Amino acid sequence: MDMKLSIVIPCYNEAKDIASNIEKVKAYLKDKKIDHELILVNDGSKDNTKEVIESIEGVRALSYEKNRGKGGAVKYGIESATGDYVLFMDADLSTDISAIEKVVELAPNYDLIIGSRHAKGSVIKKKQPFLRVFIGRCCRLLVKMLFHTKFKDTQCGFKAMRTDVAKQIVAKQQVNNFAFDVEYIYIAKLNNLSMYELGITWSDDRGSTVSPIKSSLKFFKDIFAIRKHKKDYYFDDNKPKKNGNGLLVIMMVVLFLLVVAALVIFLVTKSKH
């Protein structure tokens, strides 16, 4: 299949490692003879990420001054994509780049390909700390309850879509933080797009400065915002079917889970001190 792949990589304070990581990606793409464009999006970094990505040959370097969040950076990159299929992945290469070739193979058959750390065939080389694992499980349970998804991992930073579909999805995008992955999947589900969960090889980035507690609170806030915007996510003018089924009950269960999660986090944090 003759296909051009657009690869979007959001960058926030990545000046230290981005150049070497991009060289790895470029070498891989050249070896596999994958027609591509690399789009690096500087998400209002505080360091000199902007200057670094602009110095890398063979890439499209995009920037804006005010930080928008990872979802905002991905959206900005997708809007500029010119390929037939668009993939976004993390700058730290936590997902092994061998998954790119699998995306190219699967692309003709699916509208959306979801990289997964828990699907069949996935390999975790370096696990996350207990607190992040626990919060991740709570988030997955919450997503399944609210959106009735069958996927085992919505938060892996490796996803690919037909570019025409991707542009339709980001046009509907409401959130820019870490829950944007859920929003993309939910929009795809509401519009009956074909999706595939791809097992990937993954390693935890212990150098991450993202606070698991702060990010999880933003995540919980955003997923309720996503649920609220359901009627805005359809591609056509058809109104969604009214569903008055037990949303109150679901929210009560969710509230209970959040209280339990907060208690466990508090106990774990306290025990470390």
Measure Cα distances from 27 to 15, 22, 97 in Å. Answer: 20, 9, 11
Which pLDDT band holds residue 134 (cuts at 50, 70, 90)? confident
Q: Which CATH architecture has domain 5-272?
A: Alpha-Beta Complex (3.90)
Q: Which pLDDT score is estimated for 103?
A: 97
Nearest-angstrom CA–CA distance, 94 and 116: 12
Higher pLDDT, 243 or 200: 200
Helix axes 180-190, 163-172, angle to 10 degrees: 110
Q: Which pLDDT score is estimated for 273?
A: 60
Say yes or no to pLDDT of 247 above 70. no
At 103, which amino acid appears?
V
Average model confidence (pLDDT) across the chain: 89
Higher pLDDT, 93 or 130: 93
| Residue ranges of domains in the chain | 5-272
Higher pLDDT, 13 or 204: 13
Q: Which pLDDT score is estimated for 216?
A: 80
Which pLDDT band holds residue 170 (cuts at 50, 70, 90)? very high
Mean pLDDT of 87-106: 97
Q: Which long-range contacts (CB under 8 A, 24 or more apart) does 213-217 make?
A: 213/135, 213/265, 215/177, 215/178, 216/135, 216/138, 216/139, 216/261
Q: Which pLDDT score is estimated for 238?
A: 45
Burial (Cβ within 10 Å: 0-12, 13-18, ≥19) of residue 45: buried
Say yes or no to pLDDT of 212 above 80. no
The pLDDT tens digits of the residues spanning 27-61 come to 999 999 999 999 999 999 999 999 999 999 999 99
| H helices present in 16-69, as ranges | 18-31, 49-54
Say yes or no to pLDDT of 232 above 50. yes
Which pLDDT band holds residue 156 (cuts at 50, 70, 90)? very high
Q: Considering the chain, what percentage of its residues have pLDDT values greater than 90?
A: 68
Which pLDDT band holds residue 245 (cuts at 50, 70, 90)? low
Mean pLDDT of 54-73: 97
Q: Which pLDDT score is estimated for 43?
A: 98
Is the separation of the CB atoms in 226 and 186 below 8 Å? yes
Say yes or no to pLDDT of 79 above 50. yes
Q: Considering the chain, what percentage of its residues have pLDDT values greater than 70?
A: 84
Check residue 109 and give left, alpha or beta (phi > 0: left; psi -120 to 50: alpha): alpha
Higher pLDDT, 197 or 272: 197
Which pLDDT band holds residue 255 (cuts at 50, 70, 90)? low
Say yes or no to pLDDT of 166 above 50. yes
Is the separation of the CB atoms in 50 and 82 below 8 Å? no
